[in-house]
Copies of this chain bind each other. A is one copy, B any other.
């Protein structure tokens, strides 16, 4: 299939596919006589793997390691589990951090009673970190 078809089949931008090839995440496919990229099922499966991993928030480097494992079925699965577990921890940390932000933003927004910017509690709270109770 040509790059446009692969793009539609995986929901990936064409430029992104070429970008992945450029950085070595996808192997360079064969070319037609007109120098068009020609992909097979293996390319599609690999790209789906990459896109799904990206949707889950894995970095390109993490995906590189995961693909490497996937290419070497004789290796230890524990590596994949380690990468995924570490990523899960990061996601949980990010959720905790954002929850703290949400709480503080809720507090700040709730204080607005309208009026002029000169008396604005929102602006005041942004300038004065001491009001936060050490949340961040």
Q: Which of B48, B56, B80 contacts A123 (CB 8 A)?
A: B80
A25 in contact (CB, < 8 A): no
Contact A80 B116 (CB under 8 A): no
The interface size of chain A toward B, counting residues with CB under 8 Å, comes to 53
Report A57-102 residues with CB < 8 Å from chain B CB.
Answer: 57, 66, 69-70, 72-81, 84-85, 87-88, 91-92, 94-95, 98-99, 101-102
Contact B116 A73 (CB under 8 A): yes
CA distance A75 to B119 in the complex (A): 10
Contact A94 B105 (CB under 8 A): no
Contact B112 A102 (CB under 8 A): no
List of B residues within 8 angstroms of A3 by Cβ: none
